[in-house]
Amino acid sequence: MCIYVRDLTVAQGQQIQRILRRSKNRVKVRRAQVVLASDQGYKVPAIAELVHYSPQHVRAIIKEFNQQGLQALEPKPRPGRPEEFDEDLRALIAETALCPPKLLDQPFTRWSLAKLGDYLVAEKIVKSISVETLRKILRKKKVKLRRTKTWKECNDPQLAAKKK
């Protein structure tokens, strides 16, 4: 039994061409290749060999396209571990990182990721947090922990004369 995609409209064909040329999403591109190859008359085994998918997966993509149209090319959400920190908690972590440690009664002048993590756990803001998770949260919030630059002025009364 041969299965092919339904006839494509001109707009769908143009959209598939656009996906193939411009999309950076590899899953979407390969699904578009499956649909285009099927539209050009290739059979399922040949398409499977072309895109390195199993014939069953190619059939599933074609059936899904026939039912849903271009929406079938979008990658599906994959199950995984749920987010541990919600957006409000991430904002609080970023706000804490931007706050000078002295203001929060800490005995140092700038945060490190380890010190920030220890503070968040000690203040019971979070149960536990790794340095890498902190790094990801702060990077997403565009917070950079950098050393503050200081300038010292010379107290030599003869400095102006020495410069000349």
Q: Is residue 117 part of a domain?
A: yes
Tell me, what's the pLDDT at 146? 77
Q: Is residue 146 part of a domain?
A: no
The number of folded domains in the chain is 2
Q: Is residue 159 part of a domain?
A: no
Q: Are 44 and 37 a contacting pair, CB within 8 Å? A: no
Residue 150: pLDDT band with limits 50, 70, 90? low
Q: Is residue 3 part of a domain?
A: no
Tell me, what's the pLDDT at 35? 95
Tell me, what's the pLDDT at 138? 95
Q: Is residue 81 part of a domain?
A: no
Within this chain, do residues 98 and 126 fall inside the same structural domain, yes or no?
yes
Within this chain, do residues 15 and 66 fall inside the same structural domain, yes or no?
yes
Within this chain, do residues 69 and 115 fall inside the same structural domain, yes or no?
no
Within this chain, do residues 91 and 39 fall inside the same structural domain, yes or no?
no
Q: Is residue 158 part of a domain?
A: no
Query: Of 73, 99, 117, which residue sits at a domain end?
Result: 73
Q: What percent of the chain has pLDDT over 90?
A: 77
Q: Is residue 110 part of a domain?
A: yes
Angle, in degrees to the nearest 10, between helices 26-39 and 44-51: 150
Q: Is residue 56 part of a domain?
A: yes
Instruction: Flag whether pLDDT at 88 surpasses 90.
Output: yes
Q: How far is CA 117 from CA 51, 110, 111, 135, in A?
A: 45, 13, 9, 10
Least confident interval from 14-18, 57-61, 105-109, 121-125 = 105-109
Within this chain, do residues 95 and 134 fall inside the same structural domain, yes or no?
yes
- Tell me how far apart the alpha carbons of residues 78 and 80 are, in angstroms, rounded to a whole number: 6
- Tell me how far apart the alpha carbons of residues 31 and 50 are, in angstroms, rounded to a whole number: 12
Q: Are 71 and 10 a contacting pair, CB within 8 Å? A: no
Which residues constitute the domain of residue 60? 10-73
Query: Of 48, 73, 98, which residue sits at a domain end?
Result: 73
Within this chain, do residues 68 and 91 fall inside the same structural domain, yes or no?
no
Q: What percent of the chain has pLDDT over 70?
A: 96
Instruction: Give me the amino acid identity at 50.
Output: L
